[in-house]
Amino acid sequence: MVRAPCWLLLLLPPVLCVSETALEPCEVDDEDFRCFCNFTDPEPEWSSAFQCVSAVEVEIHGGGRSLEQFLKGADTDPKQYADMVKALRLRRLTVASAQVPAVLVAAFLRALGYSRLKELTLQDLEVTGATPPPPREATGPALSTLSLRNVSWATGGAWLTELQQWLKPGLKVLNIAQAHSLAFSCAQLSTFPALTTLDLSDNPRLGERGLTAALCPHKFPALQALVLRNAGIETPNGVCLAMAVAGVQPHHLDLSHNSLRATAPGAPGCVWPKTLNSINLSFAGLEQVPKGLPARLSVLDLRCNKLNREPRPEELPKVSNLTLDGNPFLDPEGFNYQEDPMKSGVVPACAHSALAVGMSGTLVVFQRVGGFT
């Protein structure tokens, strides 16, 4: 960031007049839209965060340190500074790389209840200690999107229930990647009445059993998309069974970037939800089309599998939009050359590192639902 001449700083609160040599942890763009802070310095200049006060998108990295020092004042009644929080333009916030006491998380969400924050991302956080008792009414922010990646909680499987108590209902998109526990305490969990997208991608140890534990029955009545990229899924049939137990009826199911295999002979059959009209089975190492898919689909994506011959009509559901690109029977080289708009060059469409592509794929989904693009 270009530093303002010091005489200009005379017009500003003295707290902003930091020494010339100190590396500025926060940077805000010229439009005051995006503000990024990285507090890795052993003695970070926390006050630099004031620069973000009028930004719409704020990303704060804590350098892995403990934020315990901010506990002082965590019990202040947020009504005292409600007007200030209400005035913030903040819509998207990312908090990453820190150890945070659960009490602080709760205080923080309570304060954000006065803000117009829509999207919250928590990443690489270790949440320590017990959560304070829940508020009497939902006081937190009215988020539309909540994303967590690699967040651990001292309270194990109860974490989602506790976090939920600090949010107003109305959450539409929930992304949970690299979770430490997805075995939720379903009896305590409240319904997510408006949740349309549940994305549990990048949980390679989840599998069908883990999915059954995570999909608390009847808690996701509005679900439209279930996204399970790189989630240790083995068969579409297993996912069908988990969905039936949970009573979810999505329109779209994404099982891409899993190592799928054919359903074992004698495995229990399953009735797919009638609503389901789109299944993504791309990058799944399939040598044949799995049996027992829904009889009729609008979209079936079988891109980048290992199909050695064209599937016969009786092996496929009735599909209006079928993608088979990147299968060996279509291009024996295993590469399907196409323009990549990002790199403006010719790249193989089916990369061989399923995991790496899975990770970036999740980012794409997140950006799409988050309205970044």
Ligand X SMILES: *[C@@H]1O[C@H](CO)[C@@H](O)[C@H](O)[C@H]1NC(C)=O
For 117-145, the DSSP string reads --EEEEEEEEEESPPPPPPSS--S---SE
Q: Are 159 and 127 in contact (CB under 8 A)?
A: yes
Residue 18 CA to its chain's centroid (Å): 36
Residues 275, 280, 285, 289: is their CA dihedral positive or negative?
positive
Applying CB under 6 A, which residues contact ligand X? 38, 40, 61, 124-126, 150, 152, 229, 256-257, 280, 282-283, 299, 301, 321, 361
Q: Where are the alpha helices (DSSP H) in 195-296?
A: 207-214, 236-246
Q: Give min distance, CB of 364 to ligand X, in A.
A: 7
Q: How many residues appear in the chain?
A: 373
Which one, 98 or 103, has the nearer CB to ligand X?
A: 98
Q: Give min distance, CB of 300 to ligand X, in A.
A: 8
- Report the C-alpha gap between 36 and 5 in whole angstroms: 22
291: helix, coil or strand? coil
Q: Give min distance, CB of 280 to ligand X, in A.
A: 4
Q: Give min distance, CB of 302 to ligand X, in A.
A: 10
Q: Give min distance, CB of 365 to ligand X, in A.
A: 8
For 159-182, the DSSP string reads HHHHHHTTS-S---EEEEES-S--
Kindly provide the b/e burial profile for residues 295-323, where b requires at least 16 CB atoms within 10 angstroms of the residue's own CB.
Answer: eebbebbbbbbebeeebeeeebbebeebb
Q: Give min distance, CB of 125 to ligand X, in A.
A: 6
Q: Give min distance, CB of 249 to ligand X, in A.
A: 19
Which one, 139 or 280, has the nearer CB to ligand X?
A: 280
354: closest CA among 307, 286, 308, 291?
A: 286
- Report the C-alpha gap between 105 and 122 in whole angstroms: 11
Q: Give min distance, CB of 318 to ligand X, in A.
A: 15
Which one, 42 or 133, has the nearer CB to ligand X?
A: 42
Q: Give min distance, CB of 52 to ligand X, in A.
A: 15
Long-range contacts, 187-192 (Cβ 8 Å, 24+) = 188/158, 188/161, 189/160, 189/161, 189/164, 189/216, 189/219, 190/161, 190/164, 190/165, 190/219, 191/218, 191/219, 191/220, 191/221, 192/164, 192/219, 192/220, 192/222
Q: Give min distance, CB of 94 to ligand X, in A.
A: 10
Our CA angle for 10, 16, 20, nearest 5°, is 90
Beta pairing partners, 35: 28, 58
Which one, 38 or 121, has the nearer CB to ligand X?
A: 38
Q: Are 105 and 153 in contact (CB under 8 A)?
A: no
Q: Are 136 and 108 in contact (CB under 8 A)?
A: no
Which one, 44 or 113, has the nearer CB to ligand X?
A: 44
